[in-house]
Amino acid sequence: MSEQQSLPLFTEKYIRGTLKHEIFYNEENWYGIVRIQIEEATEPIKEADVIVVGHFPRPHPDEIYTFYGTWKTHPKYGDQYDAHRYERETPKTKSGVEKYLASGLFSGIGKKLAKRIVDALGVDALTIIANDPDQLSTIPGISPQRARAIYESVLEHQQLERTMVFLYEFGIGVHLALRIYQTYKDQTMTVLTETPYRLIEDIQGIGFKRADEIARTTGIAPSSPERLKAATLYVLQEASYGEGHVYYMYFALLEDTIHLLRDIGGHDFDMDDFDAGLEELVQGSKIIWEDERVYLPSLYFAEVGFAKRLRYFADRGVLAEYPASEFYQAIGQVEDELAITYAQQQRDAVEMAMTEGLMLLTGGPGTGKTTVIKGICHVFAQLNGISLDVESYDPMENPFPILLVAPTGRAAKRMSETTGLPAMTIHRLLGFKGDGFEHDNQNPVRGKLIIVDEMSMVDIWLINQLFRALPDDIHVVMVGDPDQLPSVGPGNVLHDMVESRLLPMVQLTEIYRQAQESSIIQLAHAIREGVVPADLLSKQQDRRFFTSSPQDVVQAVKQICSGAVLKGYTAKDIQVLAPVYKGVAGVNQLNIELQELFNPKSDQKREVTFGETIFRSGDKVLQLVNNADEQVFNGDIGEVVAIFHPKENEENEELLVVSFDGREVQYKRSQYHQLTLAYCCSVHKSQGSEFPIVILPFVKNYYRMLRRKLAYTGVTRSKSFLLMCGDPDAFRIAVESNDEGVRYTYLQKRLRQPD
């Protein structure tokens, strides 16, 4: 919305005035409560000043604001003016312009420089700067470079404000609006008014309905082909990244797209319109249409590329051969060193890893996958004359040749702890840089053996990136449990590889003695078989089920946590898992309740508010996105160790400092969206991790998520104690429900039927 210099039209009620006093202001969402000195209004006002509430940029003295809205009466604070929108006039006095320039809104302008600028350019300084920035260079002490920086700062503020005001009309908050502005910069308003459907592709968090509302407001016709194409692309994106499909069937895409548009209304498209739009999307390289399958290009090339690369590794067959005596001598020596005895199934797995260039190792909890991984590393080293003294290697000239990787930082850490060897995330191995990877087919990683753990979590895009970057002669071992939840991202990679029967595979089935003593592992295997054990409600040495009603389940979780704390456990030891985010027993509400239990408000603890979340010193937090610069990744859990106010640091910004296993990462306020509280997290987010104590609520409110794989994955996160609560019947529904839903992937057929 452009700034207005003239008086507003009298057809809309308004009040007009200047800031007298700020009562409250939230920089994050622009919500303010301010007292305005009235200069003009469309209806008589008895008082000289009034309280105005609403969303607007922080007012500054000497600025004149016109607020459009309605009066309301607050039960406690009395009459208030509820502003629906606003217009701002720049100051009209030299003093006002000086204060405005020195207000902190504009980079590099302090009080002294503001005075010099106004002395030289006069009361119209802002207009002159915006229209003729070279005038700044005529002022003594302002270099052309500094003049340019001031001009860009003034222009950016004006454009950003216009963007914020425009988007607020559509319910788009400050953080999302900032992301939109940072994406398009000075082209933001052009995109919003001329090509608003671009938002769906470019901005995470903008769906079709919101983009369509903007488009309709800016005059794009409901019958526009661009509208149909945008809806089609949106449905395909939702199918891929919301439901995990690598492709979507043509008729399903047609039906969902037409249904979406009919729900919104405005124009009834038919199949011919849809096909024409689909062809245009193909021509524009927005989609790939293969037979009845419709793909996003990135997923199509990932699936085709991975299938081709996987067949290459499989077709190598036996990569190395060793005399039987040499292998048995090596494995015997490793057994002596590690003080273990491998069962025949485990020996077979180790031997296959030595000879085959590619293999799958699968198995549930207690079947010894980690023992086999460690054995593979040690026997491979024995047979190939490799030292396991990592310190003896030069990372640049002669890197350690055994690569251990997992999808998440916590899974990699666990892998390192169980093997005694370095492990890392797949992203870190590939040199993730935010917009790409350092390693690819032109610059492969260096190694002789790679073991990829937690394969059930790896989606089709990431596994393709990994295989592109592997050298042709490397031994590849992929390890996972196909009974766990599939990846959050598109694809069902582990399942498809197992079902293709293309790869050499060892499936560990025997549960070993120590594991047999764990009732948690026994429960996990019962769940896998779809059986509710008769002793579910009986107290076991390492697990319990506390029955409670749905309305009391949150209190039950808190009581269980309190009991654990009294026994000396901390928030780091205890992980509450829930399958959904919303609702009274969802992740979001449980985090609020558990924060007050584990880390209550205190005068000794600093805290900041971000949206509906309070971050407090000592809080357990979860990283939500991959941050290549700081090498922290989605799923990493840390602790808030410090909060700094703007005046306490060189950046002059509010900072949150989080420690991830001793490695401290700073977050500016604009980065807070990367974090969330982690006292409770989703079962999906917990994959690849183990916790001493896991607390799992089961209520029928979760009915859509009560599935066997979800229950199995949650239970198997527990290392020592499993404490369940809620409705036993909800647990039964989950265990007996093996309807995991279909994920559309073509990987199996591509593996079986090479081009």
DSSP string, 261-309: HHHH-S----HHHHHHHHHHHHHTTS-EEETTEEE-HHHHHHHHHHHHH
This prediction's pTM:
0.82
> Cα(502)–Cα(478) distance, rounded to whole angstroms?
13
Token pair 């969330």: residue: 676
Apex 647 CA angle, 160 and 144, nearest 5: 50
pLDDT at 10: 42
First-to-final CA distance of the chain: 55
Q: Each residue of 470-506: pLDDT tens digit?
A: 999 999 999 999 999 999 999 999 999 999 998 999 9
pLDDT at 422: 96
Say if residues 197 and 230 touch (Cβ distance below 8 Å).
yes
pLDDT at 9: 40
Average model confidence (pLDDT) for the chain? 89
pLDDT at 513: 60
Question: H helices of 385-508, where?
Answer: 409-419, 426-430, 460-468, 493-500
- Which residues of the chain are modeled with pLDDT < 70? 1-11, 27-29, 62, 104-105, 107, 173-175, 513-515, 651-652, 754-755
Picking from 679, 694, 697, 683, the residue whose alpha carbon sits closest to that of residue 556 is 697
> Cα(367)–Cα(369) distance, rounded to whole angstroms?
6
pLDDT at 646: 75
> Cα(696)–Cα(299) distance, rounded to whole angstroms?
34
Q: Is 218 left (phi over 0), alpha (psi -120 to 50) or beta?
A: alpha
| Helix 225-237 × helix 271-283 angle, to 10° | 80
Q: Each residue of 78-123: pLDDT tens digit?
A: 889 988 777 777 777 888 788 778 776 676 788 889 899 999 999 8
pLDDT at 186: 82
pLDDT at 754: 64
> Cα(93)–Cα(99) distance, rounded to whole angstroms?
10
Which tokens go with 285?
């390289």
- Which runs of E-coded beta strand occur in 105-144? none
Which tokens go with 408?
């998440």
> Cα(473)–Cα(357) distance, rounded to whole angstroms?
8
